[in-house]
Amino acid sequence: MYAMVAPPDNDVLWARSLHYSHDGSPGIVGVSAGVREGEILAVTGPRGSGKTTLLRCLSGQLRPDQGEVWFNSVPVHTMGDLSRERLRRDRFGWIGPEPHLMPELNVWENAALPLLIAGVPHRTAKRTAMDWLDRLDMGAFARKRPRVLNRAECQRVALARALVNEPTVIFADEPTAPLHRAESATLLRTLTTAARSHSITVLLATHDPEVAEVADRRTALLDGRPDAAAPREPGHPDAPEGRPECSLSA
The three-state (H, E, C) secondary structure of 206-241, written as one string: ECCHHHHCCCCEEEEEECCEECCCCCCCCCCCCCCC
The 10s digit of each residue's pLDDT in 178-205 is 899 999 999 999 999 999 999 999 999 9
pLDDT of residue 226: 84
Residue 229 in this model has a pLDDT that exceeds 70: no
Name the residue among 241, 211, 204 with its Cα closest to residue 93: 204
Residue 231 in this model has a pLDDT that exceeds 90: no
Give the chain's domains with CATH numbers: 8-226 (3.40.50.300)
The 10s digit of each residue's pLDDT in 21-59 is 988 777 899 999 999 999 999 999 998 899 999 999 999
C-alpha R_g of the chain: 18
* Cα–Cα distance, 201 to 224 (Å, whole number): 23
pLDDT of residue 143: 97
Q: What DSSP assignment string belongs to 51-69?
A: HHHHHHHHTTSS--SEEEE
In this structure, the number of other CB atoms found within 10 A of the CB of residue 7 comes to: 16
Q: Which residues lie closer than 8 Å to 222 by C-beta, 6 or more apart?
A: 45, 46, 49, 229, 230
Residue 172 in this model has a pLDDT that exceeds 60: yes
pLDDT of residue 10: 76
Sign of CA dihedral 120, 96, 12, 56: positive
Asked if 194 and 24 touch (Cβ cutoff 8 Å), the reply is: no
